[in-house]
Amino acid sequence: MTARLAGLIAALFFLVIGSGMMYLSPRLAGGLGLSAAEPGPGLFPMMVGALMFIAAAAHLVQTMAQTQTEAEPPYRAPRDILLLIATIAGYILLLPRAGFFVAAFLLLLGSLSIYDMPGWWRRIATSAVSTVISYLVFTLGLSVHMPAPTWFN
Amino acid sequence: MNAFEGLAFGFSIALQWQNLLACFTGVLIGTVVGVLPGIGPIGAMALLLPVTYSMTPAGALIMLAGIYYGSMYGGSTTSILLKVPGEVSSVITVLDGYEMARRGRAGAALFVAAVGSFAAGSIGILGLAFLAPVLAASALRFGPPEFFALCILGLLVLSRLTGSSLVRAAVMVALGLGLSTVGMEPMSGVARFTFGSLELSQGLELVPIAIGLFGVAELLSSAHDKLTAERPLKVRFKELLPTRSEWKRSQGPIVRGSIMGFLFGLIPGPTAIIATFSSYALERKLSKHPEEFGHGAIEGVAGPESANNGAAQGAFIPLLALGIPFAPASAMLLTALLIHGAKTGPMLMVESPEIFWGVTSSMYVGNVMLLLLNLPLIGVFVALLRLPMYLISSLVALLCVVGTYAISNSLLDLWVLLLSGVAGYVLRQLKFEPVILLMALALGPILERSFLQSLYLTQGDLADIMTRPIAGTMLVIAAAVLIYPLLQGLVMRWRAAKPLADLKKS
């Protein structure tokens, strides 16, 4: 994807968000209010939506006026970024089901692999030790409550 | 009792061994929660509130206050070393602190941040002792129109100083303000943009978004660039200290940031945040090398880090002199005062001088402790940067998710963290500045509330705000901040076009 195309998609995305806010704000309970002296809950989001719409439209015009230069690198999402996103999402999904130990261990194992730590056994040992230390620091030391695993009940 | 007698009396209280221990415990916990993202000072104070039941009221307040200003010290550490702001008021430190760390100057940045925090604390304590009654009264002159004007000015100043284009900055401001409208409306309690979710009706937490936009986005960037990423240079002991030139460049920003932060701290709301970016803007304006800002200018660390500590000290004035908490952390301290049966408000100084003067003096003791605690730790923190990148990145990932979950044990916060991380990465790729989004999100609720209250107050005629001296002045400055660069651009374009036109004529 070229920088220009990415900019156009971003501008269109913000245009949609701004339009959505302007559409939904008057439809909230109480709407925009009775008058300027008695504003409703939709007034502020309506103004913010309008600001976003105008700014996004200006950004769209600016981006369309741009010409693609050869020096600009293309935008892409490398495999490792997608893997890291999936690893963190996996942690969030696993935390309430498998508990902190399993979720944190897998998060660490996944990210150590993504960041190319050499040796599988070293990765496993580092993940296990770091999980136990972080459990001691956060749960016992700082009284952070972790969800009980539902899978093992 | 005048200020000198009060301070002498206060030191006699603060230097009792029980209170020294309470102070040390407070500042130590404060430093730890400041370093760890997610677990804020308010959560730590709430957790330790029951521990204070067996303590004297002065001892309890000394410990809880220590957590608060101690966290301001610690907040800069992860901002500088890992680009993960420990506290929201350390977000601006990310811009230059992290760049300094990348160039092997992490030690100097941490040293200047610690000294700046100490100086701000000391200046704040003097202000607290001598100016508390006078300044507290003037702080009360801040009504909704003044807050409205302050937020507008703050957002405009921030938009201009990050170097982002006006259009891109406006998109980020609108996005931040838009996100701040999710949840209950502040006046009527109507749920907005929650799409039926009960959790969303409480609004979006600021901290997961801050950690996501900076911490997770940085992790994603480093996953992308891991083969080419710059490693910080090995730092020798003498390089932990700032050079003479760096030290000279830091002194002015520290003094200005301290005073500015203290004055902002008197104003209700998230003013520590405004204080930090106002200080950043001022230093960039005054600097002989404004082009270095954003690329590792030491002034960009010294000013804001002094300002956030100054604001933390300033926030004690309305609390101790008037019994009015202007910030969530002050509300927690007020709760502690009430639990211990102390009379709050202007009578606190008269009826419980051991609390007022004891806490004021303990802050100086606490600041000395923090300096002694933080300076030796700089070497340890910098040594952490020499750990392999795969280990640092993986531990930061765990720290981000655990810290975020710790805020309110909410899985929604974790999803917000991940989405913000992805958004932060994409926004940076598209040359949008996430710091503007974050500040707009932080200021959104207070901007909206003050805007609506101003409308009620002026019967819908916002032009009336211009007749109020403080609000009017701030709006005029805001207009100048907005128009000046546009005019400057037009003048430059006209000057550039004029010789061409003359040439054509001739």
pLDDT at residue B135 in the model: 62
Residue B404 domain boundaries:
3-467
Distance CA B302, CA B324 (A): 30
List the beta bridge partners of residue B191: B184
Question: For A100-110, what is the mean pLDDT?
Answer: 91
In contact, B307 and B278? CB cutoff 8 Å: yes
Query: Looking at the predicted structure, is the pLDDT value of residue B231 above 60?
Result: no
**Structural domain boundaries, residue A99:** 79-141
Question: Within an 8 Å CB–CB cutoff, is residue B416 touching chain A?
Answer: no
Chain A contact for B148 (CB, 8 A cutoff): no
pTM as predicted: 0.73
CB count within 10 Å of CB B90 equals 30
In 3D space, the residue among B313, B267, B282, B299 whose CA is nearest the CA of residue B120 turns out to be B313
In a domain, A88, yes or no: yes
Same-domain pairing of A85 and A137: yes
The tens digit of pLDDT for each residue in B342-355 reads 776 667 777 788 88
Residue A28 located in a structural domain: yes
- At B460 the three-state DSSP class reads coil
Into how many domains does chain B fold?
A: 1
What percent of chain B clears pLDDT 70, i.e. is strictly above it?
86
* C-alpha to C-alpha distance for A53 and B204, rounded to whole angstroms: 22
Give the DSSP H/E element, type plus range, for residue B183: strand B183-184
Q: What is the pLDDT of residue A14?
A: 94
Helices (H), A66-119: 79-114
Rounded CA gap, B423 and B419, in Å?
Answer: 6
Residue B475 inside a domain? The answer is no
pLDDT at A17: 93
- Pair A43, A90 in one domain: no
Kindly state the average pLDDT of the residues A87-105. Answer: 91
Report yes or no on B498 lying in a domain.
no
Residue B209 pLDDT exceeds 90: no
Closest C-alpha among B422, B424, B420 to residue B434: B424
Binary contact (A92, B414; C-beta < 8 A): yes
Separation CA B169–CA B173 (nearest Å): 6
pLDDT (tens digit per residue) in B271-286: 777 888 888 888 888 8
- State whether A50 and A88 are in the same domain: no
Mean pLDDT score across all residues of chain B: 81
Number of H helices, E strands in chain B: 21, 2
Residue-level pLDDT at B34: 75
Query: Is residue B368 in a domain?
Result: yes
Is residue A56 located within the same domain as residue A90? no
Judge whether A148 lies within some domain.
Answer: no
Say how far residue B320 (Cα) sits from the centre of its chain. Answer: 21
3-state helix, strand, coil in chain B (%, to 5): 80, 0, 20
Higher pLDDT, B81 or B233: B81
Query: Distance between CA B504 and CA B506 in Å, rounded?
Result: 6
* Residue A150 belongs to some domain of the structure: no
Determine whether the interchain pair A44/B448 forms a contact, defined as Cβ–Cβ distance below 8 Å: yes
Contact call for residues B309 and B72 (beta carbons, < 8 A): yes
Contact A51 B170 (CB under 8 A): yes
Mean local confidence (pLDDT), B306-326:
78
Question: Residue A109: inside a domain, yes or no?
Answer: yes
pLDDT reported for residue B211: 79
- With respect to residue A47, please indicate whether it lies within any of the assigned structural domains: yes
Choosing from A37, A65, A93, the residue where a domain stops is A65
Confidence bin at B269 (pLDDT 50/70/90)? low
Instruction: Label residue B380 by pLDDT band (50, 70, 90).
Output: confident
Report whether B127 contacts B432 (CB < 8 A): no
Q: What is the Cα–Cα distance from B35 to B322, expressed in whole angstroms?
A: 31
Q: Is residue B496 part of a domain?
A: no
Q: Which of B162, B117, B174, B420 is nearest to B277 (CA)?
A: B162
Interface test with A, best of B430, B453, B454, B486 (most A CBs within 10 A): B430
Instruction: Work out the average pLDDT over B178-203.
Output: 85
ipTM of the complex: 0.90
Same domain, A9 and A51: yes
**Cβ burial, residue B435 (10 Å; 0-12/13-18/19+):** buried
Task: Tell me the residues of chain A between 20 and 59 that have a Cβ less than 8 Å away from chain B.
Answer: 21, 24, 28-30, 35-45, 48-49, 51-52, 54-56, 58-59
Residue owning tokens 């997961």: B208
Shared domain check, A47 and A94:
no
* Whether residue A88 sits in one domain with residue A122: yes
* Closest-CA residue to B193 (of B492, B377, B444, B482): B444
| Distance, CA of B7 to CA of B125 (rounded, Å) | 10
Interface of B with A in 456-485 (CB under 8 A): 456, 459-461
Answer yes or no: do A55 and A88 share one domain: no
pLDDT digits (tens, 9 = 90+) for A42-70: 899 999 999 999 999 999 998 888 765 55
Q: Quick check: is A37 in a domain?
A: yes
User: Which pLDDT score is estimated for A73?
Assistant: 58
Give the chain B residue whose CA is nearest to the CA of A4: B430
Structure token digits, residue B96? 């230059």
Distance (Å, rounded) from C-alpha A112 to C-alpha A127? 8
- Residues B184, B198: Cα–Cα separation, whole Å: 10
Number of domains in chain A: 2
Instruction: Tell me whether residue B491 is in a domain.
Output: no
Within-domain flag for B26: yes
Indicate if the pLDDT at residue A109 is higher than 70. Answer: yes
Contact with chain B for residue A143, Cβ under 8 A: yes
Q: What does each C-alpha distance from B34 to B38, B97, B308 come to in angstroms?
A: 9, 16, 12
Highest mean pLDDT of the ranges A75-79, A129-133, B51-55, B291-295: A129-133
Select the more confidently predicted residue: B193 or B35: B193
User: Measured between beta carbons, which residues in chain B are less than 8 angstroms from residue A36?
Assistant: 455, 459-461
With a CB cutoff of 8 Å and minimum separation 6, the contacts of B394 are A107, A108, A111, A112, A115, A117, A126, A127, A130
Give a yes or no: residue A149 inside a domain: no
- pLDDT of A76 reads 58
